A and B are shown apart, each in its own frame.
Chain A
Amino acid sequence: MALIEVDDLVKEYQLNVRHKGLLGSIRSLLIPEYTKKVAVDSISFSIEKGETVGFIGPNGAGKSTTVKMLTGILTPTSGTITVGGLSPYKDRKKNASRIGVVFGQRTQLWWDLPVADTFDLLKYIYKIPDNVFRENMELFSDILGLQEFMKQPVRQLSLGQKMRADIGAALLHNPEIIFFDEPTIGLDVVAKEQIREFVRTVNRERGTTMLFTTHDMLDIEKTCKRMIIIDHGKKIYDGTVEEIKDKYGRSRVLRVEFSEYIADVQLPGAEMIKEEGNKKWFEFQKDQTQVSRLINTLSQKYGIVDITVQEPEIEGVIREIYQGGIDLNETLSGVS
């Protein structure tokens, strides 16, 4: 049996309807109205131990509701979840000691106290044995660089430092599964990379299972092997990150820098999409046009200083999926 099994999961909410305008607000005051919203609509998947999975989807797609059900915060309307053989909401405490959760927008550190104080408290909350606590503290000091700000009040830390400390706090009790909810939100490139590197290290060395929800596709590309896309509460893709890039990112961009300005460049099989001084960008479909032929054509006709081929970014692919440009149901087979 897989570590996480989710079968036909459904979650419905009741929402308060509010009317606009002065009369409308008086009306809502006197006669409350409710509507039903299906946040998660029969989703099934399973995750094996040691996997790294990214959950993505537009805002309100149901991904954070799914994660809340996996962590035991919410109970499903119907369907089943087992995490390591336990039901997260029925065995809340047992499940809780085996998982770690990092909320990118909400810290669990005590705002006015040094990081070390929160860590000490967590040691008691999670009943962490002395030796495990010591080992982890050393490891985190090493790769997260916590020791440089361990004694500083949390309110004085930078966003990146806070996030590193928060990740450390969530990992302190050696959880089997870690949930990351927008772990890199608001961070600069260096801090993001540092966190991704740490995540990869922990996954490699401890075999910890990891689930991400994020808007940053680079997070997914750099840390996850598998990706689950959710939209309107439904699972619309479940497979490797490579596969989706390979199959749906068919277009490539050729960036060419010419030795002089050329007004009109003729390049069959490709289309110019951008121009800037002596530089021009051409888009082509990789299954229709070969790169080598394009380069040949160009170099025979014009003087070229530099030439590069740009792979599609996963972000563009996903954006296209959300906008309906790619229909996964039609093109993908074998998605369970």
Chain B
Amino acid sequence: MRLYLELAKKSFQNNIVYRADYFASLINAIVLIFVNIAIWKAINEEEGALGGLQLNILITYIVISFLMQTVYQMDEYFIEGKVRTGLISTDLLKPFYFRLFVFSYNVGSMVFKFIMQFIPAMLLSVFLFRLLPPFNTQMLLYFILSAILGYLVLYNINFIVWISSFWFYWTFSLVTIKDAAVMILSGALIPIWFMPTWLIDFIELTPFNAIFYTPILIYLGMMPEDEIFMSIVKQILWIIALFGIGHILWKRATKKLVVQGG
């Protein structure tokens, strides 16, 4: 366990090295939030359909969603890099679980982004966009739990895509197509409740809404308490299912590596 904590700490420190990057991605998130709010304000102004309260909720939705996206950003080409350079074979011989190693690496940079980006941007947003606080303390706790589970859902989806690098030389295409699916179907860019019913029904069958949509709804207090339990169970089930798929693929991938001798 200590080892993985060390790895996470290393990755945390790695993130600090790139000064320019740090400030840029912070501003990046703010600009994106700003643009989206301007558009929703424009819609609200003409339609009036959103109503005063609705606009506030929408703004909060957008802010939380973009901040979560920044924090949930992972190193999509870490495993690909290891496979292509062949370092994977030596890493597999080292006395640690490779998958935990990759996980700690990503968690380290997640913690960095949380402390150095999420918190300042969140505080700034309270002033800039009059962000709504969590519905109540209980919802805040549920939100934190659900957000962590959302991270794990995304991580396990990503892991499946990363593992494909054992079969494909480059994973850029798959990663990018996966990203497009996540962006649209997770409600990261537009609340799912605005989508056509047929699309909502489809999304219900996928793990995508368990990433951002579930935690944000909880934060906003838009999910009835009895549904929260079910949603969290659903998140957990998705994590188990996706982990299972990842596990099977991982076993095959390492077997393939052994057969081909790296």
Contacts and interface: CB of A to CB of B under 8 A. Distances in A.
Contacts of B123: none
A26 B22 CA distance: 11
Contacts of B12: 22
Contacts of A26: 16
B9 A29 contact: no
Contacts of A32: 19
Interface in B12-39: 12-13, 16-17, 19, 22
Q: Is the interface of B mostly helix, strand, loop or mixed?
A: helix
Nearest to A27: B16
A25 B19 CA distance: 10
Interface majority SS (helix, strand, loop, mixed), chain A:
helix
Contacts of B19: 28-29, 32
Contacts of B17: 18, 25, 28-29
Nearest to B22: A29
Interface in A2-31: 18, 22, 25-26, 28-29
Interface string A33-71: 000000000000000000000000000000000000000
Contacts of A18: 17
Nearest to B13: A25
A18 to B, nearest CB: 8
A19 to B, nearest CB: 11
Contacts of A22: 9, 12-13
A61 to B, nearest CB: 27
Interface string A173-195: 00000000000000000000000
A28 B17 CA distance: 8
Contacts of A28: 16-17, 19
B125 to A, nearest CB: 23
Contacts of A25: 13, 16-17
Contacts of B9: 22
Contacts of B22: 29
Nearest to A21: B13
Interface string A150-180: 0000000000000000000000000000000
Contacts of B16: 25-26, 28-29
A26 B19 CA distance: 9
A259 B17 CA distance: 66
Nearest to A16: B19
Nearest to B19: A29
Interface centre among B9, B16, B22 (most CB of A within 10 A): B16
A249 B22 CA distance: 56
Interface string A212-224: 0000000000000
Contacts of B13: 22, 25
Contacts of A29: 16-17, 19, 22
A18 B12 CA distance: 16
B101 to A, nearest CB: 20
16 contacts: A18-B17, A22-B9, A22-B12, A22-B13, A25-B13, A25-B16, A25-B17, A26-B16, A28-B16, A28-B17, A28-B19, A29-B16, A29-B17, A29-B19, A29-B22, A32-B19
Given A22-B12, A26-B16, A28-B16, 13 more contacts: A18-B17, A22-B9, A22-B13, A25-B13, A25-B16, A25-B17, A28-B17, A28-B19, A29-B16, A29-B17, A29-B19, A29-B22, A32-B19
